[in-house]
Every structure is written in structure tokens, then in C-alpha cells.
Structure 1
Amino acid sequence: MKRTHQDIRRVNRFAVMRHVIASAPVARRDVATAVGLSMATTADIVSELHELRLVTEIGQQESGGGRPRNLLAPDPDGPRFIGVDIAETYVHVEIFDPALRVLVRSEEELHPRHNPPEYVVDRIASGIHTVTAELGIPLDRVLGVGVSIPGQVRPDGRASVFAANWNWRDVPLRDMLVERIPIPVYLDNPLRASTVAELWFGAARGLENVAVLTLGTGVGAGLAVRGAIYHGATNTAGEWGHTNLVIDGLQCRRGCVGCVEAYVGAPGIMQHLEQIDPKSPLLHSDNQTATINALGTALTAGDPVAEQVIAATGRYLGIGIANLVNLFNPQIIVLTGWVADRLGEHLIRHVRPIAARYALDEPWEGTEIALCPIDRNPVSLGAATLVMEGFLSEATASSRS
């Protein structure tokens, strides 16, 4: 697709802001060189970011005989951004400065079995009130709130959540949030929130064609094309976890048969373990987290049963990744999520040779597989980054209207 002038300007703004965040303090000339823009274009964008109070000058750098160069950094006194990570058992809220550093965080518990939309919205509003009150700022100092909800989110803000026992179908979540929170709301799912975080701060920084695979109870993919999130026609792209591996195979939580999630999600890993050793002390039949943690510890100790489980899981994941490589041809595939956090290094040992065997040579040679390097909650970080992207996009549109 041909990019419009506005598209190009938005992408350039993102690139400049990313580099200032990553490299501050940094001179304009160094920003221009790093992002591949002219000095004039860079100076123009920096001026706009300064007007938006996202970037400020913090001193000067000697330039080897010429005039000292002014140094740029995110404005610590600038506006705030909120990111919300909703999981099956909690609502995690963080508030960020323009460098997307966490200033305050809060966590609200959800019911283990019953979470109606009104209750979840109430918990989100409570968490936002907690972080803004603790920081001592009014809500109008916040540019927006990014909310990540498990499941599917339609472009009109209606959410269908497939977490156990939630049973949400087409809930008008954005409208409900706007009624309670009088600031812009950016709503999406953890797959895309994690992908945005990787593009700005993680292993995918500086790359354009990216797949971020979330491994947890469920399994899915966030996709970026030309450096921007790929949403699909109805904002449901990324259901790679429900692509088929085995005809008439195991069934996942959504009822799909033989899909990647059924073999690679936490319940599938537990099933591998039960098949190999039904009486294994590593198996906690009613606790996924305890089982995955026990497997991680056993793998480090060289336990043979754990090795069999991880080999079986890695084989299915490797085949699923090979299919993704052949179809999408990404530059990098990043593994994230709580299962990847615990088992990722062990999984990759088995995934790489299997993916290399089943993927075509040409796309495979251009693909890297990596673990998420972000050492904080990538979902809430990505949700807050969605707010910054939305704000910069709207500022681009208004400046050219």
C-alpha cells in the first residue's frame, strides 16, 4: 500500500520519539542519523514534540570546536500515560511519564469465577484513581488510558472475552469505560499490546515485520507489518494459536481441535506431562502456574521427564512457528508471556531445529527467534505506548488539517 504524507510523518514522529526515549540525552544530529532523516525534518519533529511537552532540552554537548549541541530527553514534567493489563485474576494499572517509565502501579483483584463487565470496569476505574491520587495529579494531566483485555476487541470497542468463566460476548467496553473515565481510551488485547512494547523497547526495536508470540494459558500472535500493528479486517488478526497442527487432535479451551494452543498452551503442556508420567511430582493438576514452575526447576536440574515434556512441547511449537515463518516471513519472532518467561530458554533449544526443518529455507534464513527482553510488565507498558502512539497520530492529523 502506498503511504500518504500523513502516514510518513506519523512514522517519523514515532521513530524520533523512540530514539529520544532510548538514547537520552541525545543531540538532534544524532537523532537524525539514527532514524535516517534530514536535519531539517528532525528539527521540525523535535519542535513539535517540544510543543506537545513530550521532549525537552536538558543541557549541551561540546561538538569538537563548533557550537555546543543542545541535548534532548523526554520531558519529566510532561503529560502522563496510563496502561492497564487485565488478566483472569487481576487488573494491573501503571502510570508512566513521557519516557514511559513507571511512576506508580496498583493492582486490583478480580473474582476467580465471576467477573461481569460492570465489576471489571469498576476495578479499572478504582486502579486509575489509586495511581493518580498517589502521584498527586488530576486526571486531566493524563493524555489517555490504554486497556488490554484478553480476547477479541472489535474496532467499535466491543469486547468478547474468552477467559475461563467470563463469558463476555460483544460487551460495549469502550463506551462503559468512557462513562467512568473522562479521558481518551485505547482498547486492545494483550497480543497487540505486547507487540507495541517490543517494537518500542524490546527485541523488535528498529524492525518492521515482526511476530510476537504470547505463551500462557492461551497462545496467540501479535503481528507488525512495516513497523505498524496489523489488525486485520475486524481487528482479530493474530489467532495463530488456533491454527491446526493435528487433524482430530486435542481440543483447546475455545473448542478448536488440534490447534497450536491445545499442544503448546499451559494446559497442553500439563497434558504432555500427564501422558509421560501420570504420577509425576511435577504435576499439580489444579494449578497451571505451579506445574510450569516445577517443570522449569526440573529442567534446570536435568530431570529426564521434564526434558521429554519440553521436547514434545518444543516440537509442536517449532512446527507452528515454521508455518508462521512460511506464511508471514517475519524478521523476528519474539516469545513472551508467563510460560515463555519460565520455560523459554529450554523451549528455544528444541524449537529452532524443528522450525528450521519444516520452514522453507529462504524465509527461515531471514528470521530470528528471541525471548522478550523487557524486564517489566510488557502488556501494561504496551497499553500505555498505544496511548502515546494514538496521541502522536492525532497530533499529526491536526497539525496538517
Structure 2
Amino acid sequence: MRSVIAESTASRQRIAGETGLSLATVATVVGELITAGLLVEVGFEDSAGRPRGLVAVAPAGGVLIGVDVAETYVRVDLFDAALHFLDGVEERLHPEENRPEQVVGHIVAAIRAVLQRAGIPARRVLGAGISVPGQVDRDGGVSVFAPNWNWHDIPLRGLLVESLGIPLHLDNPLRAAVVAELWFGAGRRREDVIVLTLGTGVGAGLAFGGALYRGATNSAGEWGHTTLVLDGRPCHCGGRGCVETYVGAPGIIQHLRELDPDSPMLHGNDQTATIDALAHGADTGHPTALKVIAETARYLGAAVANLVNLVNPETVVLSSWVTARLGEPLLTEVQAVVTRHALRRPLTAVRIVRSTLSGDPVSLGAATLALEGFLSGITGGRSGRR
């Protein structure tokens, strides 16, 4: 499916070359996907021998939902089976709206709203991927630990199924973001990729050998809770000096408050408004805004250099909403800091880039995870190299 989506139309021979699977296996799986209504035959392409049949994603192959639940918003996006964006709904989460039933209420309302607006019945939904912050038991559908909300062992999928009645796939934004980059972004055709999500929380999605790396308990990538400063700022996880406390949105805002407690760029508890004001200040050359971004980049660059030295990746992608708002000024400073701190050999092999995916990468990745879950049910979990 990844090969067909990337090329719009593809022959079985081209899919075999892309995936490393045998032509016989490709023919079998394509047949299963046609039977399931996800692929259709769309004609032939010329070749030196017999004409090769082409397949494409079926226009009526069903829809997918991607849900990005963050500490400040719930974003629900609707996609067709080729993961083309159709419609989206976003609801703000206020700081006090952090109880499970409140978050579930926003998710359910947003999913119902986007389906109603698009005129699509629930029976056409192939699956919904739900990304929630923190540690997740994806098989059990449980939010194991979300430190910014003090959630422990919340049976989130069970609470949602009661109201929605559609296939649900629970995971966290680190996994969703790296899957989106592997399928559609800077990670496509790359083997070793790190995707750093910078928002209220901070983490690292990991891919090795072109495949998502989860770790023994689906907890890999909690880079935001590695120690950057001994005995540093207190963190919601219970530790001190975590990466997240210096480069997450609250940490960036604390940099600003320490530099200028009366700054007009500060907007109380509204993280989005404050980060937007910082971005605008940097664009206009405001010295305080530039100092805050430089200080953030100093910490972020040191933490990224540690990852470069440890993992030796081909690509590091800065993603999520803080990256999107602070943009090139942050990226440029981070690249300079990494150059000073990373070892020469791994540094020569790595690209550090911003995500170029349009829309919300996490909701796109969550919908992609839902598609992978649907496909696993069809093919019995068979997969290729990637």
C-alpha cells in the first residue's frame, strides 16, 4: 500500500522492486487487497514484453481517521484510503480539561462532527488511530502514564469504543510522527530516522532499518525524559533537569519569563499564543525573542547531538507545533549547536531538517497506523522489508 500510494498507480513488478518481496507474494497480497476493496485495476503500462497491469487505491475504499490528542487541543482529521486529507476538526483543551472523561468527550464529539460534515457513515470507517501523549499499551488500548495529566492506567480505547463503535488503534505521537515521515516525508527511502516532536511534551520517534522501533514495552523514544541538566528544573515525570523542561513549550516560556517577566509576549497560561508571539518577535528581530530561541536551541542542540552520537541516524526531523511556529530561526540555531557538539563522523552522515508534511503530521501518522492495523487483519500480519 505504501508503494501504491507513493506512485498513485503501480504495477506488481514495480511493487516487488520497491518492497523486496517476490513477484508471487506481491501478486497474492494485491489480490487480497483488491478483494478487500482497497485496490482496483486501472489499466496497463507498456513494457518490453507483455503489458503490465496497474493498480491504484480504490476511490470508494473506505476512510481513515487520525486523532492527535495533545495537552492543549484535540485534532481529528479524515482521510481517504490513499491517506489524502478530506476534512478536519480541532477542539481546544483548556488546562483544567485533563480528566479522562473530558478528553474522551472531546475526541468523540470531534470524530462525530467530522464524519457528519463529510456525510460519511461510521460503517465506511476502516479504522481510527488515536494518538495520546505519554506511555501507551497499544495492544490493551491503555494510556499507561501521561505525566502532564497525571494519568495512570486509563482504559482509553474501552471508553471510546462504547461511544464510537469503530475500529480503534491507540498509540502515542512519537510513533505516529515517525510513521508519517516514513510514508510521506523526510524519512521516505531512509533507513535510520529520528523524528523529534516539540510541543507541550517532547519525545523522539525512532526508525531503524526503515521500520518503526517501539522497544520492549512500546516505550522507546522517551528522550524528553532523559536528563539534560543535573538537579535542574522539576519535571512532571518526577525527575529533574529533563530535556522536556528546557525545550518543550512550557520550558521555552520559562526562558522568556526569566529574561523578561513583564514581556508583552507572555500570554498567561496560553502556550500557543505565547509561542506565536515569540515567533512573530523573532521574525521582526526582537532581541528578547531571539535570545529565547537561541537559549532553547542551545539546550535542544546539545540533546540532539547526544542522539546523533548515540544512534548515528541518517535524518533527524524536527516536528510538531512548536517547530512549525518557530521555524527556520530555531532550526538554524540547532544545526549550529549540533555541529559544535556532535562527533565528526556521525555528523557528516546526518541531515537535520524540519518536517515538510502539510497539515498535522501526528494525525496523518495516526491514520496511517490505523491503515496498517486494517491491513494486518487482511494479510495476517505479513510485511516486507519495511
1:215 CA drift (Å): 0.7
Q: Which residue of 1 aligns with 2:59?
A: 76
Contact kept in structure 2, 1:54 and 1:78, CA below 8 Å: yes
Which among 79, 85, 109 is matched to residue 96 of structure 1? 79
Aligned CA distance change for structure 1 residues 308 and 124 (closer, same or farther; 3 Å): closer
Contact kept in structure 1, 2:376 and 2:382, CA below 8 Å: no
- The answer to whether residue 234 in structure 2 is matched with residue 251 in structure 1 is yes
Which among 154, 177, 181 is matched to residue 171 of structure 1? 154
Distance 1:285 1:133 in 2: 35
| CA distances 1:130-178 after superposition (whole Å, capped 9, x unpaired) | 33334444323222211111222124222145475x4321111122223
Q: Which residue of 1 aligns with 2:319?
A: 336
- The 5 Å alignment of 1:29-44 reads 29-44=13-28
Aligned letter for 2:34?
H
Contact kept in structure 1, 2:314 and 2:351, CA below 8 Å: yes
Q: Which residue of 1 aligns with 2:274?
A: 291
| CA distances 1:41-77 after superposition (whole Å, capped 9, x unpaired) | 43333333222222222334444x7654433321111
Which among 338, 344, 349 is matched to residue 332 of structure 2? 349
Q: Which residue of 1 aligns with 2:194?
A: 211
Q: Which residue of 1 aligns with 2:9?
A: 25
For structure 1, the residue ranges without an aligned partner over 5 or more in a row are 1-16
Aligned letter for 1:126?
A
Which among 111, 117, 142 is matched to residue 158 of structure 1? 142
TM-score, structure 1 normalization: 0.86
| CA distances 1:263-311 after superposition (whole Å, capped 9, x unpaired) | 1112222222233334433333443222222221222223333222222
TM-score, structure 2 normalization: 0.89
| CA distances 1:344-377 after superposition (whole Å, capped 9, x unpaired) | 3112212123212222223222221111111111
Contact kept in structure 2, 1:213 and 1:222, CA below 8 Å: yes
- The answer to whether residue 12 in structure 2 is matched with residue 51 in structure 1 is no
1:106 CA drift (Å): 3.0
Aligned CA distance change for structure 1 residues 386 and 301 (closer, same or farther; 3 Å): same
Contact kept in structure 2, 1:88 and 1:163, CA below 8 Å: no
- The answer to whether residue 291 in structure 2 is matched with residue 308 in structure 1 is yes
Aligned letter for 1:247?
L
1:382 CA drift (Å): 0.9
Aligned letter for 1:19?
S
Aligned letter for 2:221?
G
- The 5 Å alignment of 1:265-284 reads 265-284=248-267
Distance 1:120 1:265 in 2: 21
Distance 1:290 1:108 in 2: 16
Aligned CA distance change for structure 1 residues 274 and 157 (closer, same or farther; 3 Å): same
1:78 CA drift (Å): 0.7
Which among 348, 354, 357 is matched to residue 374 of structure 1? 357
SS of the residue corresponding to residue 166 of structure 2 reads coil
- The answer to whether residue 199 in structure 2 is matched with residue 199 in structure 1 is no
Moved more, 321-330 or 282-291: 282-291
Distance 1:284 1:123 in 2: 24
Distance 1:342 1:132 in 2: 29
Q: Which residue of 2 aligns with 1:11?
A: none
RMSD, matched Cα? 2.5
Distance 1:309 1:139 in 2: 46
Q: Which residue of 2 aligns with 1:147?
A: 130
1:198 CA drift (Å): 1.0
Aligned CA distance change for structure 1 residues 42 and 398 (closer, same or farther; 3 Å): closer
Aligned letter for 1:183?
I
Aligned CA distance change for structure 1 residues 256 and 40 (closer, same or farther; 3 Å): same
Aligned letter for 1:23?
E
Q: Which residue of 2 aligns with 1:220?
A: 203
Stretches (4+) displaced over 6 A: none
Identity %: 55
Aligned letter for 1:295?
L
Distance 1:256 1:161 in 2: 14
Distance 1:199 1:399 in 2: 18
Contact kept in structure 2, 1:335 and 1:344, CA below 8 Å: no
Aligned CA distance change for structure 1 residues 177 and 312 (closer, same or farther; 3 Å): same
| CA distances 1:112-135 after superposition (whole Å, capped 9, x unpaired) | 413432333333333333333344
Distance 2:381 2:227 in 1: 45
Distance 1:365 1:276 in 2: 35
How many equivalent pairs are there? 382
Q: Which residue of 1 aligns with 2:300?
A: 317
Q: Which residue of 2 aligns with 1:122?
A: 105
SS of the residue corresponding to residue 211 of structure 1 reads strand
Q: Which residue of 2 aligns with 1:240?
A: 223
